[in-house]
Amino acid sequence: MEERRIPRPSAADTRAAARTIVRLVVFSLLVGVVLAIFGWNPVELWRGLWNALQQGVVDVFGTGIGGIALVATLIATGAVIVVPLWLISKLLSGRRR
């Protein structure tokens, strides 16, 4: 039988993985600070999101235009968190180049 060897990750791969972990820790800290400032509990945030999505689906199929407005509101609410994080990630990635 032929022995198969598992290649070892290069130093560059190890550094890239370490940078990714550090970046995830920093972003998690930033989001945690924002959640703490607003007094939001992550479990309650997920429950509220799930309930809002369920209600949005019911509204879209039940009332039409009002449901579409609710979905648009949910998108805008999510964008408040997603867009700044995306901008921060783009600024940090642009600085490396």
Decide: 18 and 29 in contact? Cβ < 8 Å.
no
pLDDT of 95 reads 66
Res 2 pLDDT > 80: no
Which residue ranges make up each domain of the chain?
Answer: 11-96
Average pLDDT of the residues in 1-24: 82
Tens of pLDDT, residues 40-81: 887 887 788 888 888 877 766 776 666 677 777 888 888 888
Token digits of residue 90: 């783009």
CA distances from 90 to 58, 65, 84, 87, 93 (A): 36, 35, 10, 5, 5
Higher-confidence residue: 69 or 96? 69
Q: What's this model's pTM, rounded to 2 decimal places?
A: 0.44
